[in-house]
Amino acid sequence: MSLAKNVDLLRRLPRLDGLRFAELGRSADASSPLEEVTGFGDNPGALRMFAFVPAQLQKPRALVVVLHGCGQTAAGYDLGAGWSTLAKHYGFALLMPEQQRINNGNTCFNWFNPEDTARDSGEAHSIREMIAHMAEAHRIDPRRIFITGLSAGGGMTSVMLATYPEVFAAGAVIAGLPYGIASNLREALDGMFHSPVRPARELGDLVRNASDYRGPWPKVSVWHGSADRTVNPGNANEIVKQWLDLHDLPEAPMAETNVDGYPRQAWWGKDGETLVESYAITDMAHGTPLGLADNDQRYGVEGAFLIEAGISSSYHIAKFFGLTGWIADAAKAEAKPTSKSTSKPTSKPAAQPALTPAPHLARSIRAAVAEQPAEPTREEARGFDLGQIITRALTAAGLMK
């Protein structure tokens, strides 16, 4: 297909999808827990700001920034991906910037526009201002700020991680693209449809040149459907290469496991913390994968580019961010007194609710042990399933059926 036909296709088809997404956004707006925030600071990118802050927040307080895809609204994507439900359940603040049609006819974040992808400029600066407003207004721990996004929102997630790496502890890119591969529409189309292969050092330098920051770099989780015909799945490999170079990690994965039926590759640092991970959602088209989480709960609603795949990407991303070890309902119940006290009150302040482990302790233990770097050879890692060993141990101990 010629470039001219590609451009024409891009101009026509997303607008049709955008109509469906606009309907989804409108249907979600009335009941959405998101609230619009105005006057948050400089807004050179002319974006709208929506946020949700649950009544109970885990400590230290955390913030997740979520960027929607083309044709979507903040409320529509929240409904589909289930982020506000996760935020309420696990007690973290949620920020969802929203694109406007005056900036992009298909409400895509402009992940390839030089004015919007440079530090302290355009849409990137607007999102940074929103984060600063949330951090101050809700006393967010600066070490617990995270970001994720789908498609063009995934591309803008790469932009934010590259231009403001000191702001984020981690990020997750779903069906997105690496930072810096496009500075105009032609290059953006080439990246989307063909995903040219670049040297890892070149990809890493694109991020290093985006700011004066030199590390430590954010952790990154990458998700992509293998049957994606909108954004070439090769982009997932390029994103991984970009961040492996920044973290000075080898190209070969340190572990290859299976999560809910899908292959996951992982790389960890010297202290054993996973720094880069990649999920290949076999036979899935362009979109955010949905399904049951490890706690047997479902987050999100299936829809256009929100695809039932048997795995909850939103939950696993929140888990990668380190946000799922605390539950608001359990903490609230524990804070309630079990009986009336007749003792005299003292001036000692009341204790804060303790952090409560998430359900399915066996699964949590199994996942934690699987993450520990025993530094096996690649051949040993592929044939050695730590999860099965822990499962058998827990079953034998009567802790798991």
Residue 271: HSE in the Cβ half-sphere, 13 Å Cα cutoff? 3
Helix-strand-coil percent breakdown of the chain, rounded to 5?
A: 35, 15, 45
The CB-based long-range contact list for 255-263 (8 Å cut-off, 24+ gap) reads 255/370, 255/381, 256/381, 256/382, 257/370, 257/385, 257/387, 259/311, 259/316, 260/291, 260/310, 260/311, 261/310, 261/311, 262/309, 262/311
Is the CB of residue 205 less than 8 Å from the CB of residue 182?
A: no
Residue 234: other Cβ atoms inside 10 A: 15
Q: Which residues are catalytic?
A: 151
Q: Where are the beta strands (DSSP E) in 247-328?
A: 255-259, 262-268, 274-281, 288-290, 306-308
Q: Do strands 219-225 and 170-174 pair parallel, antiparallel, or not at all (unpaired)?
A: parallel
The CB-based long-range contact list for 117-123 (8 Å cut-off, 24+ gap) reads 117/156, 117/159, 117/163, 117/179, 117/180, 118/163, 118/210, 119/163, 119/164, 119/210, 119/211, 121/44, 122/44, 122/45, 123/44, 123/45, 123/47, 123/99, 123/156
